[in-house]
Structure 1
């Protein structure tokens, strides 16, 4: 890959993975808009692994406590962190099941060349993000999380496999609709993403190795750059959600979707938009 493509992919993934605006949707649009060769699913997996490492580093204390809580569970002792670990596992199951089914059906290969899917999802789920954030109560914290809301948020995360939905966006939307405070919604969304991103990444990397594909230096460099960009994005976002709503992100999503639809249905070649 060209160094410019590496930098662009790292910036897009690092910024959009944790902002509620869909990283997979933006990654699919890169070759469509720039005219560059499709970077391929393996590159997408590598940049997602960079994002995974960033969220683990940022929430390292939570991760350590979750591991310790899991060990306590294995010893028959239920703690608050052990309970949260169980809820995160419960919330991850829907995404695993849906992801495996869609992968077997070759779903991602089909939608990789359908920017209109990204456009419509950006509009629909951007609107839902605004409505749930605007009218959702702020009466619950992560300590109030039980199996029912964890499963609902997990089901929402499963929908995010479709490009343009946004994993962080739809999980925050679901959490806000259930009355969780904005910072707590973001925190749970990020923690819920750890097993989902890691599981999908390991699965795809395993398939690539089995198929004889090679991980290039460019892919590794893109993942490293993504890590640093993503770490900065998480740090900024976790500060912002204490003081601002999700309205700017909703506006961006709707605007992006509308612009894409106008370009697509006007017949303008997207590859020329650069």
Structure 2
């Protein structure tokens, strides 16, 4: 990898991790379409660390509050403040964590084709559009999560293991389908990204431990900085953009990309 490739791939990770367009699909597609060599596990680690640091920094005050309520809910054995949301982040991660561990090898070998990415991009784009329409028509969206919401969103998040589905896209879709407000849907989705990215980092580090790879420290540092900054800007931009234009621009993008990929492989 050279500096240009490092910046491009780090930008892709940072920009697409929290947008409902699938970062994994774009990180697979760009090297394939440009015939770049594989970026390596070391690079995957640092760019994931960059996006993780961005979302933690953005939600640092809320994370402190949720941690406080979570701790006291255990001590007092009752719901305290936003402790249910904190439990939701924890419990909602279990299904995708188990599925990721159990099917990691088959996902890596069987689901990374351009054809699967194309169909997943289209199908989940349509589903996102329907959820956005449903949310717009909902006159009384809820501002709190229930245990049923947590279970449904957690199960739906397992679909994010399919490249092209988008973890943020499928969780936001699930939240809006159960009637949560758009603000809470985005908030819950982004908070769910913290343990999910952390788990994916652990799995990548395990694979990296068993592989001897030469790394360019300066390029890895550049990748971390670019992914962290671009991810933070994306979070701020996305939250503000959704308030004005909604989800439809991302739905149109997904449909356009999906059709382009299908035409590419025909």
- Say whether the fold is shared (TM-score over 0.5): yes
- How do residues 41-80 of structure 1 correspond to structure 2 at under 5 angstroms? 41-76=41-76, 78-80=79-81
1:48-105 Cα offsets, whole Å, 9 max, x none, are: 22111111111111111122122213322531232221111111111101100111x3
1:25-69 Cα offsets, whole Å, 9 max, x none, are: 000001111111121344233312211111111111111112212
Q: Contact 1:138–1:176 (CA<8 Å) still a contact in 2?
A: no
Q: Contact 2:172–2:189 (CA<8 Å) still a contact in 1?
A: yes
- How do residues 236-255 of structure 1 correspond to structure 2 at under 5 angstroms? 236-255=237-256
Per the alignment, residue 119 of structure 1 pairs with 118
Per the alignment, residue 33 of structure 1 pairs with 33
What is the CA-CA distance between 1:215 and the residue it aligns to?
Answer: 5.1
Residues 211, 74 of structure 1: alpha-carbon distance in 2 compared, 3 angstrom cutoff: farther
Residues 58, 138 of structure 1: alpha-carbon distance in 2 compared, 3 angstrom cutoff: farther
1:233-274 Cα offsets, whole Å, 9 max, x none, are: 000111111222211100000100100110111xxxxxxxxx
Q: Number of aligned residue pairs: give it.
A: 262
Aligned partners of 1:96, 1:46: CA distance in 2, in Å?
20
Q: Contact 1:122–1:257 (CA<8 Å) still a contact in 2?
A: yes
Q: What SS does the aligned partner of 2:76 have? A: coil
Per the alignment, residue 97 of structure 2 pairs with 96
- How do residues 102-141 of structure 1 correspond to structure 2 at under 5 angstroms? 102-103=103-104, 105-112=105-112, 114-136=113-135, 137=138, 139-141=140-142
Residues 84, 215 of structure 1: alpha-carbon distance in 2 compared, 3 angstrom cutoff: farther
Aligned partners of 2:20, 2:49: CA distance in 1, in Å?
18
Residue 191 (1) aligns with residue 226 (2): no
Aligned partners of 1:76, 1:206: CA distance in 2, in Å?
37
1:194-222 Cα offsets, whole Å, 9 max, x none, are: 11111111232133124444554223321
Q: TM-score, normalised by structure 1?
A: 0.90
Q: Contact 1:138–1:179 (CA<8 Å) still a contact in 2?
A: no
Aligned partners of 2:41, 2:154: CA distance in 1, in Å?
24
Q: TM-score, normalised by structure 2?
A: 0.93
What is the CA-CA distance between 1:171 and the residue it aligns to?
Answer: 0.5
Per the alignment, residue 232 of structure 2 pairs with 231
Q: Contact 1:90–1:147 (CA<8 Å) still a contact in 2?
A: no
Aligned partners of 1:211, 1:263: CA distance in 2, in Å?
34
Per the alignment, residue 270 of structure 1 pairs with none
Per the alignment, residue 181 of structure 1 pairs with 181
Higher mean displacement: 218-227 or 193-202: 218-227
Aligned partners of 2:243, 2:21: CA distance in 1, in Å?
19
Residue 83 (1) aligns with residue 84 (2): yes
Structure 1 residue ranges, 4+ long, deviating more than 6 angstroms after superposition: none
Cα root mean square deviation, aligned? 1.7
Aligned partners of 2:152, 2:123: CA distance in 1, in Å?
19
Q: Contact 2:41–2:208 (CA<8 Å) still a contact in 1?
A: no
Residues 51, 138 of structure 1: alpha-carbon distance in 2 compared, 3 angstrom cutoff: farther
What is the CA-CA distance between 1:182 and the residue it aligns to?
Answer: 1.4
